[in-house]
Amino acid sequence: MGFSIHHCSWVRYRVRRTFPCFHPRQRYIFPSLAVLCVMGFVAMSLLDMEGPIDLNSRSQIPEDNSVVTILLWSHPFGRYSKFGDCLEHYQIRGCRITDDRRAYGEADAVIVHHRDIITGTALPQELRPAAQKWIWMNYESPTHSPGLELFEGIFNLTLTYRRGSDIFLPYGFLIPNTLRSGIPYNSDQYLRTPAPHELIRPRLLAWVVSNWSESHARVVFYKQLQRFLRVDVYGRAGQAFFGDVVDLVRDYQFYLALENSQHTDYITEKLWSSIEAGAIPVVLGPSRENYERLLPPEAFIHVDDFATVRELAQYLLMLRRRPDLLMSHLSWRGGYRTHRPTFWTEHYCKACEVVRRTRGRTNVVKDLAHWFKS
Ligand SMILES: *[C@@H]1O[C@H](CO)[C@@H](O)[C@H](O)[C@H]1NC(C)=O
Ligand SMILES: *[C@@H]1O[C@H](CO)[C@@H](O)[C@H](O)[C@H]1NC(C)=O
């Protein structure tokens, strides 16, 4: 099934990156084993016996525990955010993350946030140390990322929501409960299949929108949809609400998870708010196949599933009269939790991990604009 293959590749991705060899607590075992091996070898040499030496065994390869220094060139959008501890939160060792530009000369990598260099922050002017990597970080879609062409051949690694990034971290993903190796993050949400009496929710359909623009496909879609059913609109372009979007949406059967622009892998927190709130997302963004890399096929309703907006509206209304069909969109939930990476600490820690792994290698991002827009 397409879903499980693609979906599990997310999971595998995360597990491999976070726990490259084994559970972090077990790491301490290996140095101890190494010591025992060496002692055994010494003892056997003393006895003039031949001891087995396996040069490929893990205990012979020293783990790279050296410090990786990551310089954040500017806080994204000029908004300061605190650096969390990579070891404590993500089991990634040896990361020194700083925003002190005096560390430039010794930094293993410099993270540059795209929007900031477009709006006036200059790139580092000093000569780039030979081994230093510049990381291009961007979480906006191509539509809202002007000037990509200006930066061809300048960066060494990419850090974005898009698959194929050197440091790849989407806005969110599912982790199956069967996966025991990962430590749940504090912010992970365990999903639950609703009990039959919880299936029908008091309200029909919500949409939270801050940037209302007539040029957005989502506004065109909304205007058609609201002719056929009631949509409660919140946010800067609708009713004010207080608190968390997830709490707001818990009363709703469906949620409009409409992206501001339609691009490969550009699937944002809107989807994950809906999933965590237990509202079935109606999505407008990249293709259905693209969403199926993140979710089971029945977990969302794609606007492309219907020939007309009217048919989509009829389907939503019909579902409320057919609890069995409603359940078919929700029964997958029992086996998963969501993980939404924390902006921006998790991104910096992942960068640290990849910078360590690619040390000594040369990387140049040559086709930034073409790749990111494709
Ligand atoms: C809102 O949308 C318009 C049109 O796409 C865009 O130019 C603008 O940058 C967006 N504003 C924000 C705050 O994202
Ligand atoms: C980083 O990119 C620059 C510019 O293309 C290149 O000259 C340099 O060799 C690269 N460095 C590394 C360590 O990849």
What is the Å distance from ligand 1's center to 261 Cα? 10
Is the beta carbon of 120 within 6 A of some atom in ligand 2?
Answer: no
Identify the residue whose C-alpha is closest to ligand 1 atom 4: 213
What is the Å distance from ligand 2's center to 74 Cα? 20
Is the beta carbon of 214 within 6 A of some atom in ligand 1?
Answer: no
Classify strands 252-258 and 232-234 as parallel, antiparallel or unpaired: unpaired
The continuous run of DSSP H or E covering 69 comes out as strand 68-72
Q: What pLDDT score was predicted for residue 268?
A: 98
Reduced DSSP (H G I as helix, E B as strand, rest coil) percent helix, strand, coil of the chain, to 5: 40, 15, 45
Q: Which ligand has the shortest distance to the CA of 361?
A: 2
Q: What pLDDT score was predicted for residue 181?
A: 62
Is the beta carbon of 362 within 6 A of some atom in ligand 2?
Answer: yes
Q: Which residues have C-beta within 8 Å of that of residue 255, sequence separation ≥ 6?
A: 205, 206, 207, 249, 270, 273, 274, 277, 279, 280, 281, 282
| Ligand 2 atom, smallest distance to 362 CA | 14
pLDDT band, residue 50 (cuts 50/70/90)? very low
Is 259 marked active-site? no
pLDDT band, residue 39 (cuts 50/70/90)? very low
Ligand 1 binding pocket mutation candidate from 260, 268, 269 (most atoms within 8 A of CB): 260
Retrieve residue 320's tokens: 């409320």
Domain 174-339: top CATH class: alpha beta
**pTM for this prediction:** 0.84
Instruction: Determine which one of 88, 126, 140, 259 is catalytic.
Output: 140
pLDDT band, residue 14 (cuts 50/70/90)? very low
Retrieve residue 349's tokens: 């820690």
Q: What pLDDT score was predicted for residue 75?
A: 98
Q: What pLDDT score was predicted for residue 25?
A: 35
What percent of the chain is predicted at pLDDT more than 90? Answer: 79
Q: What pLDDT score was predicted for residue 63?
A: 67
Q: Where are the domains of the chain?
A: 68-169+342-373, 174-339
Higher model confidence: residue 93 or residue 184?
93
Token pair 């060139």 is found at 73
Is the beta carbon of 211 within 6 A of some atom in ligand 1?
Answer: yes
What is the Å distance from ligand 1's center to 144 Cα? 7
Higher model confidence: residue 315 or residue 39?
315
Q: What is the pLDDT of residues 186-211, one digit of tens each?
A: 889 999 999 999 999 999 999 999 99
Q: What is the pLDDT of residues 79-132, one digit of tens each?
A: 999 999 999 999 999 999 999 999 999 999 999 999 999 999 999 999 999 999
Q: Walk across the sheet containing 133-138 and list its strands.
A: 95-98, 68-72, 109-113, 133-138, 157-160, 167-168
